[in-house]
Amino acid sequence: MKRLGWLLAFVSVPVFADQVFLKDAGSIEGRIVEQTATTVSVDVGGGVVGVPMDRVERIQKGRCALDEYEDRARKLAPTDAAGWKKLGRYANDQGLSTQAQEAYKKVLKIAPNDAEANGALGLVNLDGRWVTEAESYRARGYVEYQGEWMTPAQAQVLQTEAANDQARRDAEQRARDAETAAREADARAEEAEERAKEAERAQTYYDPLYYGGWGYGVTSWPAAPVSTPKFATASQIRLKGATK
């Protein structure tokens, strides 16, 4: 039992609360503010969560920290700064951030310079005035760069380093692009050379000076026609001899 008590001391959600157990594991704790045949709405302190009933396995009713907060708030007088401050701490401990801010704002209406309330609302003291953290930094000459507050000189150094890094990356990218373009140009040149060789081989195959079926030897193609020799008749031979 001692161990259980130690564990509960560090639980940030209310121990006793309405719990909506979901079919796909997990649950939502808070106060059920509305339940219909199709939806159940749970106030978790920082807002209302709606859950379709077809995802709900079961609902367990109970008293939650939000109920306790509201009960305590109803009992406090508007001028009870200590009481509202204590209630703000309780709300923070229970994870009720919206209610905590509400309580601390009540404190500031009574005691505008209360350090705890101002700090809880994110304000800082600057020359006796409570201002936001951003206003405090700007008033002291700081600038915000990439989500951090720093002096203008520090921001300038970081900006210069960022610009140099970007220039380096750009140069490296240009070098990679040039290398890629050179490889593509070489590939195109090799392809063009191969096409030229193929065209040359095709031309040689059909050249008149070479015919693959017969080999080299003819000086022109096709060769000049050869006349078929004619044989003289006997009468022509006698006539020729008589002439001599």
Q: Where are the domains of the chain?
A: 11-62, 66-140, 145-191
Model pLDDT, residue 31: 81
Q: Are 43 and 31 in contact (CB under 8 A)?
A: yes
**What are the CA-CA distances from residue 181 to residues 178, 190, 193 (Å)?**
5, 14, 18
Q: pLDDT, tens digit, for every residue of 209-244?
A: 555 555 555 555 555 555 555 555 655 655 555 555
Q: How far apart are CA 143 and CA 124, in angstroms?
A: 17
Query: What is the assigned CATH class of domain 66-140?
Result: mainly alpha
Q: Is 34 helix (H, G, I), strand (E, B) or coil?
A: strand
Q: pLDDT, tens digit, for every residue of 126-137?
A: 999 999 999 999
- The CATH architecture to which 11-62 belongs is Roll (2.30)
Across the range 164-173, mean pLDDT stands at 94
DSSP alpha helix (H) spans, 76-132: 81-93, 97-110, 115-120
Model pLDDT, residue 218: 52
Across the range 90-116, mean pLDDT stands at 95
